[in-house]
Amino acid sequence: MRELLERLRVPLLFLLLVAVSLVALASDRRALPNERGQDHGWLSGLLLDAAAPFQKAFAFPVELVRDGWTRYAALLDVRGENEELRARLAALEEENLQFREALIASQRLQRIAEMRDLASPMRPAQVVGEDVSPWFRSVLLDRGRTSDVRSGMPVVTDRGVVGLVTATSPYASRVMLLLDAQSSIDGIVQRSRARGIVRGAGTDQLEFVFYVRGDDVQVGDEVITSGFGGVYPKGLRIAEVMEVMADEDQLLHRARLRPAVDFGRLEQVFVMLVRGASLELLYEGDGDLPGDDRAAVAE
């Protein structure tokens, strides 16, 4: 009997792990906190936290080294006096760059505010990593719970909606992009007010599914968030209609959309420090958003 158990240890563990994985998959609660009221346990939070600075460390040196090497090579033959002058120039350029970056960030915030009269506070964050698996479209941000970022908060740029925070740790958070095959938003066509669902297709485009009933959708139309669904505030830009695939026999029509945000060049994003009504209801009592934070957000 003992020998049999010894021989069956691996198959039994295999079955156990498969069962555990299937149960976990079936109860997928990516945008919900766990029973302890936190998005991640301390171990998983630690791993996620550790990943963000590592990814930052891996990514930035590539450009820094390239840039640094070019400068170093160019300066090698220059005399000391020139080196000093160039160093001062480099410092001034750096300062200028920072001013320009600040200006760009300010202009981005202004454009976001213009999209809609948004009263909610925003937290700027840097994208430090992307999903390796082609099956999912998500990014890792360098801001987490210590910056008041919580699961269920919308993420935007000056161009439009980016996605939704689905997991946080103290110093990092993960955002499911609009492009993810499991993402869907209630949207309306700005011009005709035709309403439908914007779905991620897992590719670089989105799909808009809308009822016919005389609703008018044309190529070039802007699709914005409707505010229904209680996840995203109303009036945020989502995408532009590229192609309408009308089938007269179908009640539901489809359109292909080009996202307003260029996901290939996602660097800085803004986390809206509010959760929609639906998500707030889901989180209520779970302690994900502490009372103090809740009051701060309400302000």
Partner 1 sequence: MRPVLSAWLLAWLLLVATGAFAPWLPHGFAPDPALLIVVALGLRVGGVASLAGAWAIGATADLLSGAPFGYHGLLYVIGWSLTRMAQGQVELRRTSALVPFTLVLSLGLSGLAALLLPAPDAWWRAMLPHAVVNAALVRWVGRGFAALLESDRGDMLRGPTRLHSGASLQ
User: Which residue ranges make up the site for partner 1 (CB under 8 A)?
Assistant: 9-10, 13-14, 17-18, 20-25, 28, 30, 40, 44, 47-48, 50-51, 54-59, 62, 127-138, 140, 166, 174, 176-177, 180-182, 200-204, 207, 264, 266
Of 64 and 92, CB closest to partner 1: 64
Query: CB 212 → partner 1: shortest distance, Å?
Result: 22
Query: CB 170 → partner 1: shortest distance, Å?
Result: 14
Q: Which residues pair with 84 in a beta bridge?
A: none
Of 2 and 213, CB closest to partner 1: 2
Query: CB 185 → partner 1: shortest distance, Å?
Result: 15
Of 37 and 290, CB closest to partner 1: 37
Calculate the alpha carbon distances from 212 to 217, 246, 252, 255 in Å: 9, 9, 6, 12
Q: Which residues pair with 207 in a beta bridge?
A: 199, 256
CA distance 102 to 79: 34
Query: CB 181 → partner 1: shortest distance, Å?
Result: 5
Of 128 and 217, CB closest to partner 1: 128
Of 1 and 25, CB closest to partner 1: 25
Of 25 and 298, CB closest to partner 1: 25
Query: CB 220 → partner 1: shortest distance, Å?
Result: 22
Calculate the alpha carbon distances from 213 to 161, 196, 228, 256 in Å: 27, 12, 19, 19
Query: CB 116 → partner 1: shortest distance, Å?
Result: 27
Query: CB 134 → partner 1: shortest distance, Å?
Result: 4
Of 56 and 159, CB closest to partner 1: 56
Nearest CA to 152 among 235, 31, 12, 284?
31
Query: CB 87 → partner 1: shortest distance, Å?
Result: 30
Of 13 and 65, CB closest to partner 1: 13
